[in-house]
Amino acid sequence: MKLPKGDVLLHAGDISYQGDPREIHDFLDWFGKLHFKHKIFIAGNHDFFFEKQKEIIIRGLIPAGVHYLKDEGITIDGIKIWGSPFTPLFYRWAFNKKRGNPLAQHWNNIPADTDILLTHGPVYGVLDVVINEQHAGDKDLLERVLAVKPKVHVCGHIHESYGLTKRYGIKFVNACVLNESYELVHQPIVFDL
């Protein structure tokens, strides 16, 4: 897949199948060499390596010019980006938390002046429908997003709901490039801020 040109590349998680260190190293090597001024990623529910490994080891693997966000933010050219890998509990995947207070605690940390929000999972009711036509997004995340009002919210977790839409005055992007069979079928989504 050829990536379109841009200034900032965002990756919304699931950089590996189940967190195998070789997959992580391959991704970081590839991501670090891409020709974007800024490269930012979060982990996802498949990325056990990032959940289990010590933070100091993870930070030592990140190439120059690449930013890994785990419930934290970065400001680039005055644009405030905040990222989190957490998603609602589903089986025993990485970065899963029970809905309600355990997960809402992460969302409460999203700064009120966030311009771009990067989470692995979607908000409830927006680009979050799974194969059985149920909504998989998080209601507490929706509540926080509506309070913060970022210009853009990017996620990737739900394979069946790839796309871009605007609601509540916010641009929502589900940038999952794989379909539910884990086939690479979707193109990266480009947007201007």
The answer to whether 185 touches 179, Cβ cutoff 8 Å, is yes
Global pTM?
0.96
Q: Can you give the pLDDT at residue 1?
A: 76
Q: What is the mean pLDDT of residues 135-156?
A: 98
Residue-wise pLDDT for 32-89, tens only, equals 999 999 999 999 999 999 999 999 999 999 999 999 999 999 999 999 999 999 999 9
Q: Can you give the pLDDT at residue 91?
A: 86
Q: Can you give the pLDDT at residue 55?
A: 92
Domain boundaries, the chain: 8-174
Decide if pLDDT at 176 tops 90. yes
Average pLDDT, the chain: 96
Q: What is the mean pLDDT of residues 112-135?
A: 97
Cα–Cα distance for residue pair 39/96, rounded to 1 Å: 25
Q: For residues 100 and 181, which has the higher predicted lDDT (pLDDT)?
A: 100
3-state secondary structure of 136: coil
Q: Can you give the pLDDT at residue 72?
A: 98
Residue 175 host element (H or E): none
Residue-wise pLDDT for 48-58, tens only, equals 999 999 999 99
Q: For residues 140 and 90, which has the higher predicted lDDT (pLDDT)?
A: 140
Q: Can you give the pLDDT at residue 66?
A: 98
Q: Can you give the pLDDT at residue 130?
A: 94
Reported as a pLDDT band with limits 50, 70 and 90, residue 15 is very high
- CATH code for the part of the protein at 8-174: 3.60.21.10
Q: Can you give the pLDDT at residue 2?
A: 83
Decide if pLDDT at 166 tops 80. yes
Label residues 16-44 b or e (16+ Cβ within 10 Å = b).
beebeeebbeeebeebeeeebebbbbbbb
